Structure 1
Amino acid sequence: MSGVYRAPAFVFALLFYGVFLTTKAQTPTPSPAPTPCALRSNTSCAECLENVTCLWCTPTKQCMDYPVRNILPPSSVCPLNDARWGLCWVNFQILIITMPVVGGVIIIGLCVCCFCCCKCERIGNKREEVQVERQTRARNSRQKAKRTEMQLRHDEIRQKYGMAKDNPYARMNDH
């Protein structure tokens, strides 16, 4: 019986020890300070955009800090068609046009999916209602047939023993 409890205890101890060692081994190391964007001017676009906070202006070959106070960089800093951020092959003008279009397509797609799901659910509910109604009608017709059959059987028994009712409103004592 003690062998049964040893295996889970050993596995638990092994897992605990492994977790303890991995958390201790993952001590954060200080990352080197990124070089300022201005020092990357007159280099390449790829080298400038290694730092996410940098903006590359193609005609002047300047690397500058992204103007975070503005959503888009003003044209006094760099024209939108020549400004690069994140990727060297995407300029802001294309980014401004494509992002709303892509967002709109995604939103319209989600709305269509929701509409189709709701419509399918309604169709499914209508089918269920029709099926339930059909089953109810079938059950009622079976009940009516059984009731009629029982009534005929009772009438036969009454006739057999001479208790047939000619007048359904007559009292039983009169016979």
Structure 2
Amino acid sequence: MSALYKASVLVLVFCGFILNTGAQTPTPGPAPVPCESRSNTSCEECLKNVSCLWCEPNKQCTDYPVKSILPPSSVCPLNDARWGVCWVNFLILIITMSVLGGIILIAILVCCFCCCKCERIGNKREDAMAERQNRARKDRQKVRRSEMQMRHDEIRQKYGLAKGSPYTRMEDE
């Protein structure tokens, strides 16, 4: 569970970084304004600085706690924390990324299962086709043997070598 939690947190931070880079436009400035000075303004104003975290209920703009992946509840609850963009909170982002990761994992497993099943079906088809070919070959061989036997019997009969019954006695002449 903790490995899944850590993986979802890493995905969360990565997506936050992507959302953050797409949402902000680089503006040249002399020095970044400290996050605390942007408190009691707006979320958009706070999040212009990448290293800032906006806490919705108390309108506080603080530095993102980089030592922990997720901001602790003492700084701001996950449901109220915003980073990168104002319309996504951490809790929804974690849940969404976990669900998407699960769907992707299930899709990969289904694809692997289908590929293995298709391969087995292909092998069964090849086996069935080989069996049909063997049966057809044996049938042709039986027909050829019976035709050959009939020709031999005709030749024996033509020259008087045919036996009426194998149990009859040979007559002396």
Q: What's the TM-score, normalizing by structure 1?
A: 0.63
- 1:118-168 Cα offsets, whole Å, 9 max, x none, are 2232223222212221221111111111122123223323443x2746499
Q: Could you tell me which residue of structure 2 aligns to residue 114 of structure 1?
A: 112
Q: Please, which runs of 5 or more residues in structure 2 have no aligned partner?
A: 1-26, 167-173
Q: Could you tell me which residue of structure 2 aligns to residue 3 of structure 1?
A: none
Q: Could you tell me which residue of structure 2 aligns to residue 97 of structure 1?
A: 95
Aligned partners of 1:59 and 1:134: how far apart in 2?
A: 76
Aligned partners of 1:52 and 1:143: how far apart in 2?
A: 83
Q: 1:64 aligns with which of 44, 62, 67?
A: 62
Q: Which amino acid aligns with 2:66?
A: V
Q: Is the 8 A contact 1:54 1:66 kept in 2?
A: yes
Q: How much does 1:105 deviate?
A: 2.3
Q: Residues 26-45 of structure 1: matches in 2 within 5 Å? A: 32=28, 35-36=32-33, 38=35, 40-45=38-43
Q: Could you tell me which residue of structure 2 aligns to residue 128 of structure 1?
A: 126
Secondary structure in structure 2 of the residue aligned to 1:56: strand
Paired residues, number: 137
Which segment is superposed worse, 121-130 or 68-77? Answer: 121-130
CA RMSD in angstroms comes to 2.9
Percent identity for Structure 1 against Structure 2 = 69
Q: What's the TM-score, normalizing by structure 2?
A: 0.63
